[in-house]
Chains A and B, each alone.
Chain A
Amino acid sequence: MPSHTKSTARLGDRVFSNLSKGSGIALLAIMAAIAVFLAIRAVVAIRANEGNFLTTFAWDANADPPYFGIAVLLFGTVVSSVIAMVLAVPVAVGIALFISHYAPRRLAAGIGYVVDLLAAVPSIIYGLWGALYLVPQLTGLYEWLDQFFGWTGVFAYDGTPARSLMTVGILLAIMILPIITSVTREVFLQTPKANQEAALALGATRWEVVRMTVLPFGRSGVISASMLGLGRALGETMAVATVLSPSFLINASLLESGGGTFAQNIASQFKEAGSMGRDALIASGLVLFLLTLLVNGAARLIIARRKEYSGANA
């Protein structure tokens, strides 16, 4: 090969490989920048804060001196996400099983397709539907809960519009259902056919096949799919901002309005926020960022372990 073509080839290779490497590094830089810039603003806000950032039940960030804390937001975010997970995960596993092992084949393909499409519906539309359609539907259910379980305090209901953390949790559950179903179904469908046939050949019923092969095989997949859903629920903004009637109090009842979440608070307070108000919102955003990092990191660890595991018996 003539030497000049060789050198241009080398030059081309060097340029291209450095370009692609540079993109990867840029991506890392963006991640670092997100953490750094949020932290810078957060420090400004927390320094000026007269309240305790972690324990104060108020958000007067625009006052002079500013007085705010994330206790209510942390509580609301965690509680609504937990409600969403408790409702969504079992149902999602059920639908995934329905698609992978129970539904007639043609129906299953169609449903799988629709589930994937539903996962793409923008959250603002869930929010609009939640606020204008779901909220009025839920008063009946809440009255019933209050009648039988109101004595616990957690399910006490005063009859006001159902703009509560419970409603938020239900709406978030509906929102994250498609994504959890979609991921879980993929994992279930990958259950080795050989193992399922082995169970069948031993005389297993359909449920026994599922219990012996599909569920053990898919367990870590279900966990990581749930974490993915949890991450979405924690950071969801619009669906919460439209449905919740916020307040800076922690209400013992999940059915009565009040409370707030990080993302909802940022979206609702932003337009009225001054310079210090914005810094305070960014500080709360940093906490949300760390919270989702934690959840996603855990999900990745589980997936990585699963890879090692499935490699062992490939």
Chain B
Amino acid sequence: MSRPEAHTATGAPAVERVTLRPPRLPSWSVAALAVGSLALGIAIGLIGGFESRVQWGLIAAVVFVATTFWLSAAIEGRRFATDRMAAILVWACFIVAVLPLASLLWETVARGLPGVDWYFLTHSMNGVLSWQDGGGIYHAILGTVQQVLLASLIALPLGLLTAVYLVEYGRGRLAKAITFFVDVMTGIPSIVAGLFILSLWIMMLDFGYSGFAGAMALAILMMPIVVRSTEEMLKLVPNELREASLAMGVPKWRTILKVVLPTAIGGITTGVMLALARIAGETAPIILLVFGNNMINGNAFEGAQSSLPLYIYEQWGYGTEAAYDRAWAAALVLIAFVMILNLAARGIARWKAPKTGR
């Protein structure tokens, strides 16, 4: 091998020598640039007579990005300028996303809180006209709770057993097909699940609207979530536990019931609660199958019911101030309900985490 002279061990001109102290912008310079840009943005906004504060902010942002990049590229070099740009962009993404999401939570709390009181929680809308104040969500809470519980009665056994099959028994094409279709099922739009029950239960079998019909659609939406999360948790159970139990002569089904499931119970509970939170907020299938009702109907198997999300939709649809107030108040109750379920689920996950060996 004959290498050119330049590439012998001692000298390699292609690589530049590195100094340990490259010129860097002092740490206060970014803050200074930000303040300066903001001032410039306001100044331009005032002089140019732009009314919208958003425009001022945008001008300031453009000035900030441009000057930072220019200054950094001039002093620190392209690599560090790009690095700074990337950091600014990432922070910008975060801020851009926080604004609407924070506004959503803020609006719901601020507009909903005045309407939530004991009367609101314990009365139905029976006899309350859309433009009148008063009325409540008792009938809707009752409906939501019944529908969600019925849905989990259907979805939990099927979902848990399917997950057990996939992890403990499933081999070959059937297991592969089930895995694939569970994934596909996760993506079914809720309104499609509603249409299915509509065509089967109401149009073909000729039953009427009921909480139970809605619960069946919700169960379809819940099942794949339960299967997926349970499957993940069962896979985390170490094989040594199963083998230890089998080696003692315990039959496989008892091993699963007494060893595998109890080990994973924390994670499974978390998954189930997240699934419950998800279906509790579903509106579309409820519109098609439960229909809505202003009165208290405690029988989920007979006659139209209400539910919290449907109630919000209906009140929004009336378009009066009183109805909007009720919609926001109900939205706050629904968010609180879903958040409590979520927080509890994550609490359980954290509390039980060591047992699953993570």
A237-252: which residues lie under 8 A (CB-CB) from chain B? 237-238, 241-242
Interface size on A, residues (CB 8 A): 96
Which of A13, A97, A128, A275 is B251 in contact with, Cβ under 8 Å?
A13
Which of A24, A97, A103, A126 is B170 in contact with, Cβ under 8 Å?
A24
Q: Report whether A122 and B94 are in contact in the complex, using a CB–CB cutoff of 8 Å.
A: no
B196-225: which residues lie under 8 A (CB-CB) from chain A? 196, 198-200, 203-204, 220, 223
B266-286: which residues lie under 8 A (CB-CB) from chain A? 274, 277-278, 280-284
Which of B161, B180, B189 is A237 in contact with, Cβ under 8 Å?
B189
Distance in Å: Cβ of A17 to nearest Cβ of chain B: 5
A97-118: which residues lie under 8 A (CB-CB) from chain B? 97-98, 102-103, 111, 113, 116-118
A276-307: which residues lie under 8 A (CB-CB) from chain B? 278, 281-282, 285, 288-289, 292-293, 295-297, 299-300
Bound: A292/B221 CA distance, A: 14
User: Which of B6-14, B59-67, B101-109, B145-153 is found at the contact surface with chain A?
Assistant: B101-109
B186 at the interface (CB under 8 A from A): yes
Which of A9, A21, A102, A300 is B183 in contact with, Cβ under 8 Å?
A300
Q: Report whether B184 and A300 are in contact in the complex, using a CB–CB cutoff of 8 Å.
A: yes
B256 at the interface (CB under 8 A from A): yes
6 A–B contacts from the bound complex (CB under 8 Å): A23-B157, A120-B281, A127-B316, A235-B189, A237-B284, A263-B189
| Residues of A bordering B, CB below 8 Å | 1, 9-10, 12-13, 15-17, 19-28, 30-31, 33-34, 37-38, 40-41, 90-95, 97-98, 102-103, 111, 113, 116-118, 120-129, 131-134, 140-141, 174, 177-178, 181, 203, 205-208, 210, 228, 231, 234-238, 241-242, 262-263, 266-267, 270-271, 275, 278, 281-282, 285, 288-289, 292-293, 295-297, 299-300
| Residues of B bordering A, CB below 8 Å | 18, 52, 54, 79-80, 82-83, 85-87, 89-94, 96-97, 100-101, 103-104, 107-108, 157-159, 161-162, 164-166, 168-170, 174-175, 177-178, 180-193, 195-196, 198-200, 203-204, 220, 223, 227, 249, 251-254, 256-257, 274, 277-278, 280-284, 287-288, 309, 312-313, 316, 324, 327-328, 331, 334-335, 338-339, 342-343, 346
